[in-house]
Amino acid sequence: MADNARGATLLHDPRLNKGTAFPAEERQKLGLEGLLPPAVIPLELQVTRVHSEIDGLQDDLQKYLALSDLQARNERLFYAVLMSDPAKYIPLVYTPTVGEACQKFSGIFRATRGMYLPITARGRLQEILRNWPQSDVRFIVVTDGERILGLGDLGVDGMGIAIGKLALYTACAGVPPQYCLPVVLDVGTNNHALLEDPLYFGLRQERVRGEEYAAFVDEFVAVAQTLYPKTCIQWEDFANFNAVPILERYRDKICTYNDDIQGTAGIALAGVFAALRVTKQKLADQRFLFLGGGSAGSGIAELISQAMAMEGLSIDEARKRNALFDINGLIVSSRSDLTDFQKPFALDHAPVNTFVEAIKALKPTGIIGVSTVPKLFTRQVIEAMSALNERPIIFPYSNPTSRSECTAEEAYRWSDGRAIFASGSPFAPVEIMGRKFVPGQGNNIYIFPAMGMAVYATEATRVTEEMFIIAAKAVAEQVTEENLAAGLIYPPQSHILGASLHVAERVATYIYDKGLARAPRPGDVAALIRERAYRPAYEQE
């Protein structure tokens, strides 16, 4: 038994605890007799018991809390439960339930998990990070809590996102959980409801900006690289004006990526590739209009543009086929309020103030919503897209469900069943005109866990844009003709582990081909991925 843990100490270590599955000889050997009920219950029956417990709860937040308690008590059982029925449990441990959990995080706080790094500790981050019990960290998901999903500034309560994201690294792609570290950079919050809440456990100050903020992030990155030289840092839910420059500052220096920008772009591109299998068209012939001009919209637009360029367009021609529309209208070159990351997509076009008019003017083949504002894909919008396209591509990607630009039923009904639909949050199957549609969920879980597994297995030194294009193609090629006929343009979540390992193999092969791996290349990359994947099981001690 690792660390020579015994007795009650062993039962309180989630990585070592087996609960009622400890066999009789281990109970005697490890001082557990009397501390557990006498029956020995194997892992399979423990999973069945948890299923029954979760099914008995009526509220998704209660289910989230029960699973969180299980993760803090018995890590292997927690992952065995998630991996036994991912389609059922992923929405409970991540979107959409995690949004409500983050909104209430301080009030529902239980066992601590991850590292909280306040800006008041600037200059001491190395000392503090050394308190983390694992010396080998391969993945850090870090947030400053300013733009949690579509819910805004939640301060340190955004830790729920980092915890949930890393749970999916393991549950969806087999990244061993002991190598994962969730982190919150607490630089304050501008959410005054939180600042006035006596239960809020973050710094009670407004957000730090400018050079002091940048220096704090620099220190964090430098310390993480020093302590964990093989780590990959994933930036999560930073506000646009921080997310883009942070990624630009580090992407060519360390192994890092931003899932909101690049992972979202990857899953959107995967949906586009699958949709084109339905329309029988080329990517380079498409036009997309994005509702939302922030880092997610521009990130998707850029990755699609790069993929179009791989089909022969110049990058400038490709970017002109990906237009952004924000709160101030169509992003055109005459506007004076554009950010640097919006400017490559600014069109030489007269201003357009409504989204419907932008559709009529630009004639896109697909619309992609990343606005975090619900119901903006109105009936007029869907009907305008349907008038232009036999099979309009309609992707309302905003999370959580309450922020989706339209529902699956609205998209299918208003398009007379012709829409190729995918959303950021799950929607139930829809029956329109006697036909059943199974809406796809364009969830980043098809991208970032597989990316993590590829990076872990190869010990990659960088994460590049091309890796997300490779991942997108690998996701899309797993969608069957039967899936497409039902309206599903992503692999079923019930098969997420197999799908992720396939994507990880493709990305890992690219990493080796481009000389980005620190680990030696094996004879069989697919075998390496399968061999390195974590699968929850109790070993005999």
Token readout for 108 is: 């529902």
Closest CA to 237 of 105, 126, 149, 318: 149
Closest CA to 165 of 457, 443, 513: 443
Give the whole-angstrom CA distance, residue 63 versus residue 344.
44
What are the residues facing 257 on neighbouring strands?
234
- 3-class SS of residue 296: helix
Give the whole-angstrom CA distance, residue 476 versus residue 422.
13
Pick the CATH number of 2-75 from 1.20.120.1730, 1.20.1370.30, 1.10.260.40, 3.40.50.720: 1.20.1370.30
- 375: annotated active-site residue: no
Q: Are strands 329-330 and 322-326 parallel, antiparallel or unpaired?
A: antiparallel
Domain 2-75 shares a fold with domain 262-445: no
What are the residues facing 181 on neighbouring strands?
140
- 165: annotated active-site residue: yes
From the candidates 18, 64, 79, 165, give the one annotated as an active-site residue: 165
Report whether 104 contacts 159 (CB < 8 A). Answer: no
Handedness of CA 503, 509, 511, 513 (dihedral sign): negative
From the candidates 79, 94, 169, 257, give the one annotated as an active-site residue: 94
- 3-class SS of residue 223: helix
Residues whose CB is less than 8 angstroms from the CB of residue 228 and which lie 6 or more positions away in sequence, other chains included: 136, 137, 138, 140, 181
Residue ranges of domains in the chain: 2-75, 97-254, 262-445
Between the CA of residue 88 and those of 97, 169, 188, what are the distances in Å?
A: 12, 17, 35
DSSP state of 407: -
From the number of C-beta atoms within 10 Å of its C-beta (0-12, 13-18, 19+), residue 279 rates as: middle
Report whether 383 contacts 414 (CB < 8 A). Answer: yes
Q: Structurally, what CATH architecture does the domain formed by 262-445 represent? A: 3-Layer(aba) Sandwich (3.40)
Per-residue pLDDT of the chain (541 residues; tens, 9 = 90+): 455 789 999 999 999 999 999 999 999 999 999 999 999 999 999 999 999 999 999 999 999 999 999 999 999 999 999 999 999 999 999 988 999 999 999 999 888 899 999 999 999 999 999 999 999 999 999 999 999 987 899 999 999 999 999 999 999 999 999 999 999 999 999 999 999 999 999 999 999 999 999 999 999 999 999 999 999 999 999 998 999 999 999 999 999 999 999 999 999 999 999 999 999 999 999 999 999 999 889 999 999 999 999 999 999 999 999 999 999 999 999 999 999 999 999 999 999 999 999 999 999 999 999 998 999 999 999 999 999 999 999 999 998 788 999 999 999 999 999 999 999 888 999 998 889 999 988 989 999 999 999 999 999 999 999 999 999 999 999 999 999 998 899 998 899 999 999 999 999 999 999 999 999 999 999 999 999 999 999 986 5
**CATH number, span 97-254:** 3.40.50.10380
Report whether 155 contacts 194 (CB < 8 A). Answer: yes
Residues whose CB is less than 8 angstroms from the CB of residue 28 and which lie 6 or more positions away in sequence, other chains included: none
pTM (2 d.p.): 0.92
Between the CA of residue 162 and those of 1, 16, 99, 173, 329, what are the distances in Å?
A: 29, 23, 12, 16, 33
Report whether 315 contacts 306 (CB < 8 A). Answer: yes
- 3-class SS of residue 488: coil
Closest CA to 324 of 356, 355, 293: 293
